[in-house]
């Protein structure tokens, strides 16, 4: 499911009864199986700027991936704040405590990544509600502009595509 989030994502915007054409959007820089300078192994994760998602089939696989990130971070003198990290298991249990640069990484039943609220039950209702609220607030903020009859529909759609959608996708962050 996580990998599916990054396969050519598209978005449409509905304003009253009008819907924009689907358009592709980018969520940061997508890199799979990053080749790490100075290391011979690959890290099986998806990197987005300073965020990372590790995907592992087992506790031992996750442990090895965390060790690789620790090694890379130590080589490049980068500190990781493990308190901002979390481990969410979908099925099964962790067989041991997990650490990153010597800091314990806590387990969680829910994790938010790029505004997607994931949980171990695969329930997406909180994400849908969260996204609806964000879009609703954004649309209310530009409602008077969108209601103007003297503004061409094409210009409104261009405005939505270039201002509203990027604002919603990045949550206002550059």
Instruction: Tell me how far CA of residue 144 lies from CA of 18, 134, 135, 138, in angstroms.
Output: 16, 18, 15, 12
The total of other beta-carbon atoms located within 10 Å of residue 113's CB is 17
Sequence spans of domains, the chain: 3-119, 126-169
> Among 114, 129, 137, 7, which Cα is nearest to 50's?
114
Confidence at residue 171, expressed as pLDDT on a 0 to 100 scale:
45
- Contact call for residues 47 and 29 (beta carbons, < 8 A): yes
Confidence at residue 49, expressed as pLDDT on a 0 to 100 scale:
43
Q: Taking the alpha carbons of 142, 11, 23, 172 in that order, is the dihedral positive or negative?
A: positive
Pairing of strands 18-19, 14-15: antiparallel
Q: The pTM is what? A: 0.49
Confidence at residue 173, expressed as pLDDT on a 0 to 100 scale:
40
Which ranges of the chain have pLDDT less than 70? Answer: 1-9, 11, 25-51, 166-174
- Length reported for the chain: 174
Confidence at residue 1, expressed as pLDDT on a 0 to 100 scale:
53
């Amino acid at each position: 499911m996580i990998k599916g989030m990054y396969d050519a994502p598209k978005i449409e915007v509905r304003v009253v009864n009008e819907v924009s054409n689907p358009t592709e959007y980018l969520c940061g820089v997508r890199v799979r199986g990053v080749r790490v300078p100075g290391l011979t192994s690959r890290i099986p994760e998806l990197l987005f700027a300073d965020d990372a998602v590790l995907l592992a089939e087992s506790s031992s696989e996750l442990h090895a991936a965390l060790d690789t990130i620790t090694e890379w971070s130590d080589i490049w003198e980068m500190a990781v704040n493990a308190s901002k990290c979390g481990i969410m298991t979908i099925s099964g249990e962790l067989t041991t405590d997990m650490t990153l640069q010597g800091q314990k990484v806590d387990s969680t039943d829910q994790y938010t990544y790029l505004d997607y609220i994931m949980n171990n039950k695969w329930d997406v209702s909180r994400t849908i509600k969260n996204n609806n609220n964000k879009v609703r607030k954004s649309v209310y903020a530009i409602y008077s502009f969108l209601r103007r009859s003297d503004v061409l529909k094409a210009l409104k759609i261009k405005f939505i595509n270039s201002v509203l959608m990027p604002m919603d996708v990045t949550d206002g962050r550059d």
